[in-house]
Chain A
Amino acid sequence: MLANETGRRASVKALFALMFYLVIPVAAIYVILNSYPALGKERFVNMLYWFIPLSIVLVIVSQLSIRYPKGDSRRFIYNIAYVVITLLWLVAFLGGGLVITETWDQYHFSLHLWKYVLLIVGVALFNSLYYVLEWLTYKDDVEVKIDYNSIGSMTIIPLLAKG
């Protein structure tokens, strides 16, 4: 794993993503399936099928974003990608729709989650707003230097400007 600007191998953000989007949900589903054998496994397996890959992508994206300084366009793009993938993760966690239908004995009840999802979309937009503000606030601090010696590969090295 690459070291980020602070020299750590894993960022707090990546660890947060790892815990909240992968470790805790998988552990919870494991506990549920063992504690409630009457529940159908199919739904939970489908959830895992979608949200484990998305969780891994989230961890990678969050780690990649921290490699670049605040104000760098690539950090901004990774951050926005992080928000979008978080929403996709949520859709996977909710089973792909806004309604969860539960069956207990022969009866069904449905949970309509659109208001809840609206709240989550609101929080996602707020996070996006933060990333936009961060990018706008710090972008002048980033000096893009083109390394003409390796112009063939057009390596762009972002540096934090003094002051």
Chain B
Amino acid sequence: MRMKKEQLVYVRIAAVSLSCLVATLTLCNLLTVVTHGIDFEVPEQDDFTWAIDPVEKRILFLTNFTVKNHGVYDIEDIDVNAWLVTDDGRTLLGFSKEDMVVSWGSDKRFEVMIPMDLDEIPLSDWFGLLYKDTAINLILDIDADYMFGLVHVTVDEVLSYQWYAPFSDYDGDFMATLFSIVEIVGYDLGHSFGDVERAIIEQAMLIEDFEFVSNDGYAIWVNTSDVSEGIREMACEITAPLEYFDGELDIGFRVHLGLPNDVPYVRLEEVSVSYVGE
């Protein structure tokens, strides 16, 4: 393939221009990035707050992160995904926000609002939060595009926060039994009960009516019925004052359990989780 020499000059000009452009981009933009002209400030523990959404009856987990863009291009397509996860890996809540933009030369703060829908969190997770000290992890995943999408920025952080369960110090055996019952209640229908579950049910059959109210507002009521055909009903109400707002969380459940014909049987009859404002 041959070209006229005059035409080749234009190719040369284009090649040199593109080379200069790329070299300038490399020097200016990448050095801007490595000197934190672009930066993501993720929240610290003090940046977390709680609020109540009285209309939707939701508890809101609020935090924020800031994007600093001191570069010369907009940061576009910022997607934020956040999850609250227990230390044993179970996801409590999720949050997603997409297609945000931070213009060049500006800082922008984004609010992260994770709603805790009281009806969506499994009973065992609620109970676990009341009974077991745990670490709650906020998994923060931020994706963004810079330089017209040529550079993709990702932030993957796991922020750990200690959760002190209000009932963790109270009567370990009783609460442990109650928690075990709640856990096996949550099993799938197809789950086959083994010796461990049988032992839990046997222990549950021995629980008597129980009432506890602490000075700081925590309360547990357990009412049990007589055993009929190997099955008894157990109703439990738990009240937990919410530290961050005026109100309390009421968790209640009613379960039938027993060993009819020596076969383990557990059935959740009713469950309710509600926020009560003062």
Tell me the complex Cα distance, A160–B193, Å. Answer: 93
Tell me the complex Cα distance, A112–B30, Å. Answer: 11
Q: CB within 8 A of B147: which of A36, A100, A116, A129?
A: A116
Tell me the complex Cα distance, A137–B8, Å. Answer: 8
Give the shortest distance, in Å, between B76 (CB) and chain A (any CB). 14
Q: CB within 8 A of A127: which of B3, B19, B35, B157?
A: B19
Give the shortest distance, in Å, between B270 (CB) and chain A (any CB). 45
User: In chain A, residues 86-144, which have Cβ atoms closer than 8 Å to a Cβ of chain B?
Assistant: 90, 93-94, 100, 102, 104, 107-113, 115-116, 119-120, 123, 126-127, 129-130, 133-134, 136-138
Q: How many residues of B contact A (CB 8 A)?
A: 41
A residues less than 8 Å from B40 (CB atoms): 107, 109
User: In chain B, residues 11-39, which have Cβ atoms closer than 8 Å to a Cβ of chain A?
Assistant: 11-12, 14-15, 18-23, 25-27, 30-31, 33-36, 39
Q: CB within 8 A of A137: which of B5, B41, B151, B153?
A: B5
Q: Does A158 contact B (CB under 8 A)?
A: no
Tell me the complex Cα distance, A110–B155, Å. Answer: 6
Give the shortest distance, in Å, between B44 (CB) and chain A (any CB). 9
Tell me the complex Cα distance, A116–B21, Å. Answer: 12
Interface centre among B1, B8, B23 (most CB of A within 10 A): B23
SS of A interface (majority)? helix
A residues less than 8 Å from B203 (CB atoms): none
A residues less than 8 Å from B1 (CB atoms): 133, 136
A residues less than 8 Å from B39 (CB atoms): 104, 109
Tell me the complex Cα distance, A100–B30, Å. Answer: 10
Say whether A116 contacts B150, CB under 8 Å: yes
Say whether A111 contacts B152, CB under 8 Å: yes
A residues less than 8 Å from B151 (CB atoms): 111-113, 115-116
Nearest CB in chain B to that of A132: its residue: B1
Say whether B27 contacts A130, CB under 8 Å: no
Q: Does B2 contact A (CB under 8 A)?
A: yes
Say whether A36 contacts B19, CB under 8 Å: no
Give the shortest distance, in Å, between B135 (CB) and chain A (any CB). 17
Q: CB within 8 A of A28: which of B27, B42, B149, B153?
A: B27
Q: Does B154 contact A (CB under 8 A)?
A: yes
B residues less than 8 Å from A120 (CB atoms): 22, 26
Tell me the complex Cα distance, A126–B50, Å. Answer: 56
Tell me the complex Cα distance, A119–B146, Å. Answer: 14
Say whether A123 contacts B33, CB under 8 Å: no
Say whether B11 contacts A111, CB under 8 Å: no
Q: Does A20 contact B (CB under 8 A)?
A: yes
Say whether B31 contacts A119, CB under 8 Å: no
Q: Does A45 contact B (CB under 8 A)?
A: no
Given A100-B34, A108-B156, A123-B21, 15 extra CB contacts under 8 A: A36-B36, A93-B26, A102-B34, A107-B40, A108-B155, A110-B156, A111-B151, A112-B154, A113-B152, A123-B15, A130-B12, A130-B15, A133-B11, A136-B1, A137-B5
13 contacts between A and B (CB under 8 A): A21-B23, A28-B27, A32-B35, A104-B39, A107-B40, A107-B41, A109-B155, A115-B152, A116-B151, A120-B26, A126-B18, A133-B11, A137-B3
Interface residues of B (CB under 8 A from A): 1-5, 8, 11-12, 14-15, 18-23, 25-27, 30-31, 33-36, 39-42, 142, 146-147, 149-157
